[in-house]
Structure 1
Amino acid sequence: MSAQTDPILFEAICTPARSLGRRGMWLVAGAVLAASLLIGTVFALFGAWPVLGFTGLEAALVLGLMALHRRWSARSAEALLLTEGRLLIRRTDAKGRQEEVALDPYWARLRLEERPGRVSRLVLQQRQREVEVGRLLGEEQKRDLAGALQAALRRYREPAFDNPQLR
């Protein structure tokens, strides 16, 4: 059976947190421009009119970097697919490059590595091969993903068969 016809037993799509929507982005842009204009006006009133250009450049740089980060984070994603024959990890980075890793789900082991003062690591291991998953997630989301993926792998390894003759 090919991977496309295998039923999907578990699927998780991880994306980076984006707390600002389109409206929030416009509000931040307005606040940055207003602050820049206010600072530039105060300095211009004191006779330091060249500061106007620098505050304008600074505002443009801040807004440009925010827009660039927003566009790059929109492209980043990680998909975890568990099918009958494999556990597929498909990543897309901020530049649009894709990477795909396939593991045998029967032998894949999941572990959550605690790291004091930092976000923990969620690692899938198969023999000597280790693959970190959930890089884009925060601490709580990693714990949720670990629980759900662990349960899916357990159901895969220990299927419950319903035999009507044994009822």
Structure 2
Amino acid sequence: MTAVETQAPHTVRSGEPLLLDACLRPNRSLSPRGFVILMSAVCAISFVGGLAFFLAGAWPVVGFMGLDVLLIYFAFRINYRDGRNYETLCMSPDDLEVTKVNYHGKAKRWHFQPAWLQVHIDNPVEHDSALTLRSHGKSLVIGSFLAPEERAEVANVVSEALMKARQANISPAQI
């Protein structure tokens, strides 16, 4: 699956066709079943190691090995929670709506006019390169959870949609 899940173009309430309808989601490659298997293996290894230390007389080590298991578990739970974040991009010829939804389901929306919008990403794309939308002196970073190659792909898709939006807004009198 790619970083940009595009859907078939449809129309928004105003009747304008959507030039871009994309959903950006973080990659979570470990399935819930894989998580159970991984945690079972971590628990088994810690139990065997802890038993060996206990039998050798180093019983305080058992508590630290249990603490390691708990920390690994909570780290994965936080990772899965953050995996519920997503961003949507919906562009018509007159508007780009960016919606960021956090793991609680709370959404924040930003609107941009495609005629004035700039898409910026470093070239070449590096690990810490931000994908930024800029307009009227304000900027918004999108796709921060994506891999660098995926951010470059999103930048290309948004730039292509911007060109289509600008072409759709040119009237025959301006030509």
What is aligned with 1:58?
Answer: 68
Q: For structure 1, which segment, 52-61 or 10-19, has the greater mean C-alpha deviation from structure 2 after superposition?
A: 52-61
What is aligned with 1:68?
Answer: 78
Alignment of 1:16-31 (within 5 A): 16-31=26-41
Q: For structure 1, which segment, 10-19 or 56-65, has the greater mean C-alpha deviation from structure 2 after superposition?
A: 56-65
Q: Matches of 2:167 and 2:118 in 1, distance apart?
A: 14
Matched, 1:89 2:95: no
Alignment of 1:70-149 (within 5 A): 70=80, 72-114=81-123, 118-149=127-158
Q: Matches of 2:125 and 2:89 in 1, distance apart?
A: 26
SS in structure 1 at match of 2:19: strand
> How far apart are residue 92 of structure 1 and its match?
1.4
Count matched residues: 159
Unaligned runs of 5+ in 1: 162-167
Q: Matches of 1:115 and 1:132 in 2, distance apart?
A: 18
Q: Matches of 2:126 and 2:113 in 1, distance apart?
A: 33
Matched, 1:152 2:161: yes
Q: Once superposed, what is the RMSD of the aligned Cα atoms?
A: 2.4
SS in structure 1 at match of 2:162: helix
Q: Is the alpha carbon distance of 1:28 and 1:140 closer, same or farther for their aligned partners in structure 2, counting shifts above 3 Å?
A: same
> How far apart are residue 15 of structure 1 and its match?
1.0
> How far apart are residue 125 of structure 1 and its match?
1.1
Q: Is the alpha carbon distance of 1:117 and 1:149 closer, same or farther for their aligned partners in structure 2, counting shifts above 3 Å?
A: closer
> How far apart are residue 77 of structure 1 and its match?
0.5
**Equivalent position amino acid for 1:81 in 2:** C
**Equivalent position amino acid for 1:60 in 2:** L
Unaligned runs of 5+ in 2: 1-11, 171-175
Q: Is the alpha carbon distance of 1:104 and 1:160 closer, same or farther for their aligned partners in structure 2, counting shifts above 3 Å?
A: closer
> How far apart are residue 30 of structure 1 and its match?
1.5
TM-score of the aligned structures, taking structure 2 as reference length: 0.80
Asked whether the 8 Å contact 2:118–2:133 carries over to 1, the reply is: yes
TM-score of the aligned structures, taking structure 1 as reference length: 0.83
Q: For structure 1, which segment, 57-66 or 96-105, has the greater mean C-alpha deviation from structure 2 after superposition?
A: 57-66
